[in-house]
Every structure is written in structure tokens, then in C-alpha cells.
Amino acid sequence: MTAMRASRPCLSFCPEKQPTKYRENENVAIMICRATTTGSQKPVGVLLAVLAIVVLLAAAGCTASDTPGRRFTEILHRYPQSPEPLAIARLTASSADAVPLSPRGKAVTIMVHPAYSLFFREERRSTYSEAKYDLLKFQLDNEARFIGEIAKSDNLLILVLPGNYQTDSLAPLSYTFYLNSTTQSSPLVYYISSETSSNGSLDMDAMVVLYRFLQRVKADKVLVGGGYIGRCQREFYNQLTSYMDKPPAFIVPEISSISPDDVEDDEAQEIVNSIQKHDYTPVKKFIEKKGQGKADVLHMPSAPVL
């Protein structure tokens, strides 16, 4: 995942060294530069006043948008660092043998890198504006609720866990607790691992196992969610659809997550406002933009929304 944009540093005081948008006080700044570089014999009091103006001009370069926001990792306390083992069955070549009749012939849902925003974001990069924080929290809560509800149903769910999550996660024990608590030991939930924690693709052996499982349970369609849209989710979806034609696969806006690095504050706020009204049109457009028109999108009206 790409790095967050760094805060803009205060630029040098002389206007010829600054971009145009910092030249509103150009005439004053020019006098300051001359007073401090030509050896002017101004009284000490005048020079102190000039230095004070310099400090004010420098502060003007640091806008309010650079102030710290809310730290997303503060909500990690929801998920204690329990040493319990992962209580989800790994998808294997023989997994289809244990699937009962009721979920066969139905849609299979695949969630790519669930809860990635909370458990795989570096601490130093987890502070966001109010709008991005709200978007991430809504996505996280909605995703957890969806996983919990489908785990209680008679539908199949496969989680594509980030590869090497035990070492790459910000809080691996808490992540295991999250996975166990949301899936509730459901016998219809399986996991498979991506090649790395920052890539949604599977290695070829894992893809063959997944393909054969979908064929044996006679899945009529595959519904892909998780995140991030246009990143790990797209890598998985492109690999899946290039490997198999049937069953058809769709990306579902209601259960897909957007990276905070891919939207500005106003976009994040617009998306939050829409999905709180159960309108996922902005998410659908985002999927289409990031998928460059190659992704098939299917809405899920029954998806749980907070």
C-alpha cells in the first residue's frame, strides 16, 4: 500500500525560493531578505521586529490541514491480544467433501484481506482527518458485521488472509481474535492466504485449490469483497477471472473497502454520506474507475449496513 502524503514543510523565507502560492506578502518578504543579507545597520529593535515578521510568514506556510487528525489504531483495544489459535479451517483439496447440501449451488463470497485498514497499517501512518477516519471505521464495522452475519447463515465464505500475517500484522494476536470472533467457528467459513500481506494474488497451488473447490460445490457465482478496491482486491479479482470463466465473479460495492490513500477528504465525506443512506453509487463508480472498466460489479441489496 502506498505511503501517506507527508505534511508540507514550511518553505524558506525569501520569496524567490518559494512557489507562487506563498508570495502573497512578497514585498514584505523582500525587505526582510534585504535587511538580513545586506548588512544593514538598523537598530536592534527594528531587526527584532523584522525577525518576528519572518516567524509569522513562516507560520503562514503551515496550514490548518497539517494538524494531526484521529489515530485509527486507537480502536485496537476492541480486540485483545489473545494467544488463541486461528479457529478457521484452511481451504484444501478435500474441503468440498465436508460441505453439506444446503450451500451447494449458491453464491460463494470471498473477502480479500478483511480488516486490513486496522491490522496492517503502520502506526506512524494511521492518523487521518475526520472524514477519512469516519470512512475507515464505517467500512471496518460494516465488514465485520457482514462476516458475522454470513457466518451464521448457510452460505459459504472464504477469507483471503494477508500472507505472513503472523509477522506482518501490526497486532497479529489481535487480528486472530478478530477473525475468530467474527466467524464464530462456522463450519462454512474457510481461509486461504495470499502470496504476501501487500498483494492479493494467490500462488498457483492455492488458486488451483480454490478453483476446484468452487467447481465441486457448484457455485453459481462468486461475490468478491474486502479491500482495498483497486489494490489487493483488484489483484485477486483479475487473477481469479483470468484463470476461470465459470462461475462468474463480481465485485460487490456493499462489502468492499476503499484505501484512505486513494481519496481526498471531500471524497471520503461524500462516500460516507452516501453509504449511510444505503447508496453505494460512489463506491460502484470508484470500483469502475480503479478497475479501468474491467470489473463486473453486482450490488447486494441484502448486505448488512450499519
Q: What is the pLDDT of residue 54?
A: 43
Q: What is the pLDDT of residue 81?
A: 92
C-beta atoms surrounding 111 within 10 Å? 28
Q: What is the pLDDT of residue 59?
A: 44
Q: What is the pLDDT of residue 75?
A: 84
Query: Any idea what DSSP says for residue 98?
Result: G
Q: What is the pLDDT of residue 68?
A: 52
H helix or E strand, kind and range, residue 225? strand 222-226
Q: What is the pLDDT of residue 302?
A: 54
Q: What is the pLDDT of residue 45?
A: 55
Which residue type does 83 have?
A: P
pLDDT averaged per 10 residues in sequence order, the chain, 306 residues: 40 38 42 44 49 46 49 85 94 96 96 95 80 93 96 96 93 95 96 96 96 96 95 96 92 95 94 93 93 84 47
Q: What is the pLDDT of residue 301?
A: 61
User: What does residue 224 show for φ and ψ, rounded to 5 degrees?
Assistant: -105, 130
Q: Report the alpha-carbon angle 147-151-156, nearest 5.
A: 100
CA distance linking residue 168 with residue 191, whole number of Å: 17
- 70-290, which class in CATH? alpha beta
- 13-17 contacts, C-beta under 8 A, 24 or more apart: 13/54, 13/57, 13/58
Q: Interhelix angle for 130-151 vs 172-183, to 10°? A: 50
C-beta atoms surrounding 63 within 10 Å? 10
